[in-house]
Amino acid sequence: MSPLLTAGFSDQNGRRPVIITCLFIFIGTSIGLACQTKFPILLVLRCLQGFASSSAVVISTASVNDLVTRAERGKYMLYTSLGVTLGPAIGPTLGGILTQYLGWRSVFWFLAICSSVVASIMLLFLPETSRAVVGNGSLHPQPWNRCALQIARPVEYEKEPSTRVIFNQRPGIRQTLTMLLDAHVALLVICSAANTFTSSAITNSLTTLLAANYKLIPLHIGLCYLPFTFGGLSSRWTAGTIADWLYRRQAHQIGEDIQPNRQSPEQLERMPLEKARLRLTIPFVYFCCVCIVGYGWVMNYNVHLAGPLILLFLYGNATTGVSSTIAILAVDLNASRPASTHAAMNLVSYLTSAGAVAAVVSLIYNTGVGWMGVIMAGVMIVTSPALWALYIWGKAWREKPSPKTCK
């Protein structure tokens, strides 16, 4: 829920204050958790920790939209999404090692130390990127909103006030939620939620399945998450590179000249963004389905451990590609409010993820892991027509006049 509170604020008042505040909340709650002995307080602190981390994810993605043009956004958005993809995969490995040798409290001390290092780097080097504050980077942010490097070495640029985004109404929770009523965002949310639902089901059931089918200890179970991790990491060179190439190819087909770090409003209006992005997303969705079905039946028949691990690598690559390209298209279409767009989409995705985590183990016990894979693939196939609708009619819908929230 926290991005609903912070996303609109960051779109209008800046990314840097929000992300640094979230980091300090995360540091404080991690220290509190490491020292905690009472379970109710531990639950409260975990909620606050989740509040801080989820907001930071949304704001970091919005910062990429501020900095990078659409033609180059593919690989950079994938870099940002790797945190969401790799965190749940690497976490069990590191957590297993720390818990086994140093105890569970060491996990939270580790988080506090890492987040303190990141916060220090942010304070020293992270500039404000919100276009409502600094425009295209030529305008200065408020004195209190400058990093140490900007204070020590101020640089003057030719100011371009026309590049600053001006909102006609103050962004808030209501404005963020109303973004889900937009046809483009609604259809993207459906597919994003389905992808998050299936990936959460697969990754959260993996521990149970490995312990039951292969009798692995917690440390070895954590290591088995690494193929999924490396699959997600490799998507930068597959989905990211291909996404940027397809964008340039689509621009060439309509006679647009794409220059590095340059774009114009007129050029973006002429670009069929939906076709440029979904030409990659749709094949990746169906490849995810193949991987999920294969993974389910390989696990069902207790094939050698290498079998499910290979499929986890392929699935990690594909599901990261799907989530990233959907996110890219969402911010392409809502460039003035990227944080609010992601907050609205993540609200639905996280709710479906919670449902998947709650239901997947019971589903496996009642149907078997093989049919679980079939059901999960079916969820993605059933929702995939939403992407086809955007691919075919998306640009025509965009060209219809609609009220603007900013200029």
Q: Phi and psi dihedrals of 303, rounded to 5?
A: -65, 160
Give the other-Cβ count within 10 Å of 143's Cβ.
8
Lowest mean pLDDT among 199-203, 264-268, 336-340, 358-362: 264-268
Q: Considering Cα of 301, then 307, then 309, then 310, what sign does the dihedral take?
A: negative
pLDDT of 21 strictly over 80? yes
Lowest mean pLDDT among 58-67, 70-79, 131-140: 70-79
pTM attached to this predicted model: 0.84
Give bridge partners of residue 167 from the DSSP assignment.
406
Distance of CA 197 to the CA centre of its chain: 14
pLDDT tens column, 159-200: 777 777 777 777 778 888 888 888 999 999 999 999 999 999
Concatenating the DSSP letter of every residue in 98-148 gives HHHHH-THHHHHHHHHHHHHHHHHHHHH-----HHHHTTTTS---GGG--H
pLDDT of 406 strictly over 50? no
Domain boundaries, the chain: 2-399
User: What rounded mean pLDDT belongs to the chain?
Assistant: 87
For residue 401, name the pLDDT band (cuts at 50, 70, 90): low
Which of 78, 80, 85 has the alpha carbon at shortest distance from 280? 78
For the CA atoms of 311, 232, 6, 68, the dihedral, rounded to the nearest 10 degrees, stands at -140
Query: Across the chain, how many H-helices and E-strands are there?
Result: 18, 0
Helix (H, G, I), strand (E, B) or coil at 57: helix
Task: Give the span between the Cα atoms of 342 and 332, in whole angstroms.
Answer: 12
Give every CB contact of residue 3 below 8 A, 6+ residues apart in sequence.
54, 55, 57, 58, 176, 339, 342, 343, 346, 347
Looking at domain 2-399, its CATH class is mainly alpha
